[in-house]
Chains A and B, each alone.
Chain A
Amino acid sequence: MNSLITDLAQEIFSGIALGSIYALIALGFILIFKATEVVNFAQGELMMVGAYVNFFIIQGIMGDLHVPTGWMFLMGLVGSILFAIVFGWFLDLVINRPLRDESVFSIIMATISMAIMLRALVSMIAGSESLVPQSPFGGAYFNLGGVIISVLDLTIIIGAIVLVSAFYYFFNKTRWGIAMQATSEDPIAAQLMGVPVKRVYALVWIFAAIVAAISGVLLSPRASLIDTNMGFLGLKAFPAAVLGGFGSIPGAIVGGIILGVIETVSMGTLSFHFHWVKEINDIIVWIVLIAVLMIRPTGILGTEEIKKV
């Protein structure tokens, strides 16, 4: 019995770490959606670009400067974030702005095309061979009452919580955040009220790119290899965002963690004790998603939006 509890605790911890990665990608989806009502299907690819930029900064610095390891990873992180700022601004310029007056579908299609182009572009620049990233923590872990806590996983979880809280605060308590919400609700009225709509759009794309870069930096040591297909994880983060309530920032972390935990526990203990669970492992997440949406169509933390037509 005791071992069942430790096993479950272990799986739940691992699931929370996995779910935190989903949450970070979902957060990117939600940020852009909240301000522009666009679903950015290239969010996973933004993460992939972040992971690659981080990898090359670390490689470059390692080769040339011989800085201590801690600094190296810190500079990798800072460098990727700086790159994300420029990249997010650029994406707003080439995708969001020219299509702003078109239907939302056009922009969504543009993000899907961008996802494909980014994959091709990265493999042209970096080569198609998967790369082996280093982990800032090596394989460090500690034992907490029989449960193995990996330092990397712990960092991922803390990172996700901090970022989600920061953006929650930003959106609900700061002038810029409220301006963003206003823009999403009615861009024309917001503009008339003096909200710099163009800057709001640019800012939100920059935020999404930063979140993506950070999740890329955190995911790559956990995934052991980085390749141009790692962006497909975005397709798993999307149901997390829906489950949590699309448009709700805390919903990202709730949805992400629920899905992550379900995934690891069903693959682990549940499959071990009930063999039939093995057969439905790959659909269990979707069963939960549909069940939740039947009870709460807006997701767990989503709020119903009423639109005047």
Chain B
Amino acid sequence: MKRLMTIIISITMFSLIGCGGAAESPGVTENEILIGNVQDLSGPMKELGKILPAGSNLYFDYINDNGGVHGRKIRMLVEDAQYNPQKTVVAVKKLIEKEQVFCLYNVIGTSPVEAVRPLLAESEIPLIAPATQSGTMSDMSRPAAEYIFPTDTGYDIQASILIDYAKEIDENAVIGVIYQDDDYGENVLKGVEESEAEMGITVQKESFQRGATDFAGQVMNMMKGGCTHVIIAGIVKEPIIIMKTAEAMGYAPQFMGISPTMDHRVSLAAGTAGEGFISANFAPLWNSDDNVPKLYRELCEKADVPEAMMGMYHYYGFSTAIVLVEGLRRAGKKPTRKKLIRGMETFNNWDGAGIQPLTYNRNDHGGAEAVTLIQIKDGIQLPITDWIK
């Protein structure tokens, strides 16, 4: 009997607590907004799993120390899903149902985000700044697209921009692309094919499997095809090996890379072979003199962020956090998920986050369509263009 009483009391208590929360939107209390993030803390991308949320928290802490958003502090929960779509579904379910987060933010990976689309639609919960640059994020014909607000320029758009740029600096440019044979490469190819149709050109295409360490065949085919400009849709290792292989063969086209190749280790490891390498970038360099990078470095110094952590990925967490905070501001004093979505859809060429200007409206969640180009000169990455579309 006593036990039964305890159970009844606890159930009543819990439902009362539940009622207290339900009066407003889930995840929002008098003085706190709870947001959910899914990262890879123990899988293949765990390198980023630590760095991205650290960058975001650097900005959230700064906002919280200055009174929060409309008086509410931001608290971020990070779940581990090992870059695995199935595990991401479980993690997002937990965040929505058990933790009752207000919105989702920065969930990492193209396939993982694709996998949670049904959950987003079901709970009508927005996902701000998914940590992937796939062009599929802004495709409004896909399910749950109205809940997703990508901040990055899609790989397809990047590829088109690089082709335009190559044709601009050399109208006789013969262009080739060496791409990773997966979702990422597919998206790059989509942009390449669009450019081919638009400009009436043919781009030579060579693929490689993820994890490949030998590119002699692909490089030789580029050389045989007489390519003067070669776009590399790889991550970090591939541009290094490709450029070294080409150097050894005495083949020196203008190498260009999609944004994942914009990593300082490329110039570090490729040495002379990497000289002149141009990569697309979605943000001003974190060590540049723009306002947001300046604030970023200032806060890093204040918080004693280790130097090894600072860099493009940490800055990525930081700048996308600014986008989220701006969205929450625009959602008003009594935020609901719907209001957050409407707030995000008022972004019009907004460039306060230290990344390319963002535009969202009800029919277009494209967000960003521009990149800057970075070139390695004397081993140092330098911006060579403004935002180009």
Report whether B46 and A282 are in contact in the complex, using a CB–CB cutoff of 8 Å: no
Q: Which of A89-97, A205-213, A243-251, A267-275 contacts B (4 or more CB under 8 A)?
A: A267-275
CB distance from B294 to the nearest CB of A (A): 25
Cα A20 to Cα B217 in complex, Å, equals: 17
Tell me the residues in window 187-227 of chain B with beta carbons closer than 8 Å to chain A beta carbons.
Answer: 206-209, 211, 213-214, 216-218, 220-221, 224-225
Report whether A129 and B213 are in contact in the complex, using a CB–CB cutoff of 8 Å: no
Return the contact of B244 from the options A224, A232, A272 (Cβ within 8 A). Answer: A224
Q: Which of A6-14, A63-71, A106-114 contacts B (4 or more CB under 8 A)?
A: A6-14
Residues of B within 8 A of A272 (CB): 220-221, 224-225
User: Does chain A have a CB within 8 A of B378?
Assistant: no
Report whether A7 and B220 are in contact in the complex, using a CB–CB cutoff of 8 Å: yes
Cα A56 to Cα B172 in complex, Å, equals: 47
A148 touching B220 in the complex, CB below 8 Å, given contacts A132-B269, A225-B265, A263-B214: no
User: Does chain A have a CB within 8 A of B240?
Assistant: yes
Return the contact of B207 from the options A7, A219, A260, A278 (Cβ within 8 A). Answer: A278
Tell me the residues in window 258-285 of chain A with beta carbons closer than 8 Å to chain B beta carbons.
Answer: 260, 263-269, 271-272, 278, 281-282
User: Does chain B have a CB within 8 A of A293?
Assistant: no
Residues of A within 8 A of B224 (CB): 3, 7, 272
Report whether B221 and A268 are in contact in the complex, using a CB–CB cutoff of 8 Å: yes
Report whether A267 and B208 are in contact in the complex, using a CB–CB cutoff of 8 Å: yes
User: Does chain A have a CB within 8 A of B249?
Assistant: yes
> How big is the B interface, by class?
35 or more
Report whether A10 and B220 are in contact in the complex, using a CB–CB cutoff of 8 Å: yes
How many residue-residue contacts, CB under 8 A, span A and B? 96
User: Does chain A have a CB within 8 A of B237?
Assistant: yes
Residues of A within 8 A of B250 (CB): 148
Cα A232 to Cα B211 in complex, Å, equals: 9
Residues of B within 8 A of A148 (CB): 248-250
Cα A139 to Cα B181 in complex, Å, equals: 28
User: Does chain A have a CB within 8 A of B47?
Assistant: yes
Residues of B bordering A, CB below 8 Å: 42, 44, 46-47, 50, 181, 206-209, 211, 213-214, 216-218, 220-221, 224-225, 236-237, 240-241, 244, 247-250, 265, 268-273, 308
Other than the known A264-B216, A267-B218, what 7 A-B pairs have Cβ atoms closer than 8 Å? A17-B214, A129-B47, A132-B265, A141-B248, A224-B270, A232-B211, A264-B214
User: What 8 pairs between A and B have smallest CB-CB spacing?
Assistant: A268-B217, A267-B217, A14-B216, A224-B240, A128-B47, A132-B269, A272-B221, A18-B214
Residues of A bordering B, CB below 8 Å: 3, 7, 10-11, 14-15, 17-18, 120, 123, 127-130, 132, 139, 141, 148, 150, 219, 222-225, 229, 232-233, 260, 263-269, 271-272, 278, 281-282
